[in-house]
Amino acid sequence: MPLPQLSLSLQFSDLTDAAAHRAALPRHKVTRWIRHALDGDGEITVRIVDAEEGQALNRDYRGKDYATNVLTFDYATEPVVMADLVLCAPVVAREAKELKKPLAEHYAHLLVHGTLHAQGWDHETSDEDAEAMEAREIEILAGLGLKNPYR
């Protein structure tokens, strides 16, 4: 079965260490990671932001006054998945270092995670939902040749 179609906008804010993040996020890989997580066609914007913008968005939209790794703003699931995925570069880099994972691999996981959120998956509703979402992420990442991010 062919992968879903994806219209992708990939944006980088003014980051102090933008080169490392751009190198970890080549457009063809971002497209591949997201397409593997989509159940249907999508129009997705991926924006890589600094800690200040990440914190402001998390505070203003979720009421949590700290920068988080990924925020998903979902607008529609049918007939096309429409969403913005906002990833906070310093948080992602710190987590990758703590997890002893390549930056690109952690970005892949978070893009899959955010894309699932855009389609209605939610790990905060119940333990069963969290287990189901993790299992789906592991399955998608394995199909991409990536390790289980929860080990």
Note the pLDDT tens digit of each residue in 57-95: 999 999 999 999 999 999 999 999 999 999 999 999 999
Indicate whether 1 belongs to any domain: no
Indicate whether 151 belongs to any domain: no
Give the tokens for residue 23: 């190198």
State the number of CA atoms in the 13 A half-sphere of 122 facing the CB.
6
Q: pLDDT band at 16, cuts 50/70/90? A: confident
Indicate whether 127 belongs to any domain: yes
Asked if 138 and 150 count as a contact pair (C-beta separation under 8 A), the reply is yes
Indicate whether 139 belongs to any domain: yes
CATH of the domain at 95: 3.40.390.30
Span between the terminal Cα atoms of the chain, in Å = 30
Indicate whether 52 belongs to any domain: yes
The parent domain of residue 103 ranges over: 6-143
Q: Tally the domains of the chain.
A: 1
Indicate whether 104 belongs to any domain: yes
Indicate whether 150 belongs to any domain: no
Indicate whether 149 belongs to any domain: no
Nearest CA-CA partner of 115 in 84, 93, 138: 84
Note the pLDDT tens digit of each residue in 18-53: 999 999 999 999 999 999 999 999 999 999 999 999
